A = this chain, B = another copy of it.
């Protein structure tokens, strides 16, 4: 679980990041940050909208989407595409990494891509492709869930 958005000390990172990019620290943004931090694993926009409406009735639908976009552009949230094709979001740290998503409980584990760089380089070499970006999503059972149902 990522803790970058936690309230208290952790929120400093968010504040600093917003500030650095010239964005204001507003009530709705803090509220969304807390909701995201409170979520375990990935969540859909719809789920967050429900949360938001409960936590702060009157918060605008558009604002939630805008905030999600903003956080995504700052690297605090990442969008993932579930196997079924749905879009979801995951809280995460703003460094390059990937997500291993548990198809049973939905939690996601951050994973760095040691080794993947070499694979991509090899692919590029072989196909003449000059790779500028990649997306890797991993699905399976987390250790807890695979222990439960072996």
Q: Which residues of A approach B to under 8 Å, CB–CB? A: 79, 81, 83, 85, 87, 100, 102-103, 109, 111, 113-116, 118-120, 122-124, 127-143, 146
A83–B129 CB distance below 8 A: no
Query: Which partner residue on chain B sits nearest A120 by CB separation?
Result: B138
A135–B137 CB distance below 8 A: yes
By CB atoms of chain B within 10 A, which of A103, A111, A138, A141 has the most? A138
- Copies per complex of this chain: 2
B81–A109 CB distance below 8 A: no
Which residues in B have their C-beta under 8 angstroms from that of A140?
124, 129-133
Which residues in B have their C-beta under 8 angstroms from that of A138?
120, 123, 129, 131, 133-134
- Min Cβ gap A115→B in Å is 4
Q: A132 CA to B146 CA in the complex, in Å? A: 11
Q: Given B114, B124, B143, which contacts A129 in the complex, CB threshold below 8 Å? A: B143
